[in-house]
Amino acid sequence: MAGFDDLASERSKAQFDVEEMKVIWAGSRHTLEVSDRISRLVANDPVFRKDTRTMLSRKDLFKNTLRKAAHAWKRIIELRLSEEEAAELRFYVDEPAFMDLHWGMFIPTIKGQGTEEQQQKWLPLAYKMKIIGCYAQTELGHGSNVQGLETTATFDPQTDEFIIHSPTLTSSKWWPGGLGKVSTHAVVYGRLIIDSKDYGVNGFIVQLRSLDDHLPLPGITIGDIGMKFGSGAYNTMDNGVLRFDHVRIPRDQMLMRVSQVTREGKLVQSNVPWQLVYGTMVYVRQKIVSDASCALSRAVCIATRYSAVRRQFGLQSNGIETQVIDYKTQQSRLFPLLASAYAFRFVGEWLKWLYMDVNQRLQASDFSTLPEAHACTAGLKSLTTSATADGIEECRKLCGGHGYLCSSGLPELFAVYIPACTYEGDNIVLLLQVARFLIKTVSQLGSGKEPVGTTVYMGRVEQLMQCHCAVQKGFLELSADLVQAAVAHCQLIVVSKFIEKLQQDIPGKGVKGQLEALCNIYALFILHKHLGDFLSTGCITPKQASLANAQLRSLYSQVRPNAIALVDAFNYTDHYLSSVLGRYDGNVYPKLYEEAWKDPLNDSVVPDGYQEYIQPILKQQLRNARL
């Protein structure tokens, strides 16, 4: 069987221990065991099938999502899965839904911004799913500009309550995931008003729906904001609209770790930076970087396996055409994405450590690394999601026409993934935050602080900052060039963390060698892509640029025999890949043909509508022809 033999032959060429590379990719033997076991549990459960998603109506799709979520929760309880195993199960179910926001934002917000008492009250309810929460920050009129939010939370000293209100149409909460049809509660971000004075944006826990009949509570208008890009997944998520008409909540439902409002209506600032109100966004952004490596590796796995199975032109002496993976143009498009997937994996590991370190420091009232954590999570979220969104589209193109079929898995993966460039912070807005951080850092460099990083990459950042740095007053004056410097800074971090990864103990025959090749491919690919920066800032000479290019091409040849094994190391099930082109067995053509007939359009040989619309035309043509 052509495809199967091709992939079997490719696997026999591997020059490294794939099982050990699986451990490196997973992060540890324990994590590999958990993800392997849970991914197969999901793959073997018919309730979690994904192949009909793009054929269902929005209502049927959403109802099936609720069915899957209920089944997932049931399995978590039945099997007594740990929090880690439950998170893996939600990941491999691979269907954006309210659960992501309940576990991924609502609960972390209460943990990060609630007092001890508030955590003791609300977390048990949330962990047991007695309430379902979402994160309601963005409004119809404001998303990036958090300080521009209009929802009000006015303290009423008469009743010891906050009055939550949507004063304008643009203050309607708009986009929060899980809000439209499912969540019973939300953390709502609104302007704290005490005695007519505006104290800025804070978080408030608000019940939205009755726990008895799920109807919206008095003063609450709530619904879904409508269909989103593409069909299938992400339309499985009920992103919602929410308006308040003077809804009253008890004072103790304002999240009060950062600021407290006393019974007398006095605002008391605690000793933590007010920016902790933004803490959930830092947490999710570091998560999104790891998610980027998953999404990109998934697309690269599909495109790499298909590129080894697909043959086109180049008839060889044995009468067989050439594998498209052997074309240098295919390699120059595909292998940098393979390298990027590994690079984002490792920078995501580091970012997770940085986030945990910041949190531990916060416990000890050490806020010194919070600005760097914000800049790194913002910048790396921006860099990795933009590269991944572009990378998934490139993988679609690498698969030719078949990449455009839903059965390839790539269109739906692209449609689900691309909002990552917007949610949790628009990517340009976040790069401007990095630019601000760099300006402050450069201004402090005079104090003898020396930047650290790889020379050429570090030089590029320094030079770009020198060229474009000016005394900036605020966002509007930040030049587009500074965004360029911010990207350069983030790419420096990615390369540096890949190099640091290689300095760790890396067991397994040939594993370190493959990772060194991928690290060099990533670094040289970025250098090639931004050659203008490196040349214009004098970081490298034209001769060096030419040598770097030659080295990059030679590295592609080095990776070529290992490409299939490098994507096998992601250890993805066919269920998770959900792609005829990316099947482990390479049995592409028979399965493509089989999938076609499953389309409802093929339920009848003569299509519905023929008699009403087509036959009259044809008959008319026949009559005309006889005249």
Ligand X SMILES: Cc1cc2nc3c(=O)[nH]c(=O)nc-3n(C[C@H](O)[C@H](O)[C@H](O)COP(=O)(O)OP(=O)(O)OC[C@H]3O[C@@H](n4cnc5c(N)ncnc54)[C@H](O)[C@@H]3O)c2cc1C
> Rounded CA gap, 256 and 268, in Å?
9
In 3D, which of 230, 240, 242, 232 has the Cα closest to residue 62?
A: 232
> Which residue in 114, 143, 391, 586 binds ligand X (CB under 6 A)?
143
> Rounded CA gap, 76 and 589, in Å?
37
Q: How far is the CB of 433 from ligand X (least distance, A)?
A: 10
The token duo for 472 is: 């900036």
Q: Residue 593 class from Cβ within 10 Å (0-12 exposed, 13-18 middle, 19+ buried)?
A: exposed
- What is the greatest pairwise CA distance in the chain? 95
Query: What letters, b where the CB count within 10 A reaches 16 and e where it falls short, cover 595-611?
Result: eeeeeeeeeeeeeeeee
> Rounded CA gap, 216 and 198, in Å?
28
Closest CB to ligand LZY4JE5M among 305 and 436? 436
The residue annotated as part of the active site, out of 88, 424, 450, 477, is: 424
Residue 115 near ligand LZY4JE5M by CB under 6 A: no
In 3D, which of 276, 282, 284 has the Cα closest to residue 113?
A: 276
Residue 444 near ligand LZY4JE5M by CB under 6 A: no
Question: Binds 239, which of ligand X, ligand LZY4JE5M, none (CB < 5 to 8 A, cut-off by type)?
Answer: ligand X
Closest CB to ligand LZY4JE5M among 187 and 301? 187
> Which residue in 118, 138, 154, 571 binds ligand X (CB under 6 A)?
138
Is 424 one of the catalytic residues? yes
Q: Binding segment for ligand X among 47-55, 268-276, 419-427, 615-623 (CB under 6 A)?
A: 419-427
Q: How many residues bind ligand LZY4JE5M (CB under 6 A)?
A: 29
Q: What DSSP designation does 581 have?
A: T
Q: Which residue's Cβ lies closest to ligand X?
A: 143
Encoded amino acid at 137, one letter:
Q
Query: What letters, b where the CB count within 10 A reaches 16 and e where it falls short, cover 357-375?
Result: ebbeebeeeebeebbebbb
**Which residues in 116-135 contact ligand X (CB under 6 A)?**
135
Using DSSP's 3-state secondary structure scheme, residue 55 falls into: helix
Instruction: List, in order, residues 6 or more apart from 191 with CB less than 8 Å away.
Output: 149, 150, 151, 152, 153, 198, 199, 200, 201
Residue 137 near ligand LZY4JE5M by CB under 6 A: yes
Q: How far is the CB of 313 from ligand X (least distance, A)?
A: 41
Residue 429 near ligand X by CB under 6 A: yes
> Which residue in 85, 252, 426, 516 binds ligand X (CB under 6 A)?
426
Residue 203 near ligand LZY4JE5M by CB under 6 A: no
> Which residue in 177, 180, 403, 582 binds ligand X (CB under 6 A)?
177
> Which residues does the annotation mark as catalytic?
424
Residues of this chain that interact with ligand X (CB under 6 A) are 101, 135-138, 143-144, 175-177, 239, 419, 422-423, 425-426, 428-429, 432, 475
Residues of this chain that interact with ligand LZY4JE5M (CB under 6 A) are 100-101, 104-105, 135, 137-138, 144-147, 177, 275, 278, 281-282, 284, 287-288, 291, 370-371, 374, 423-425, 429, 433, 436
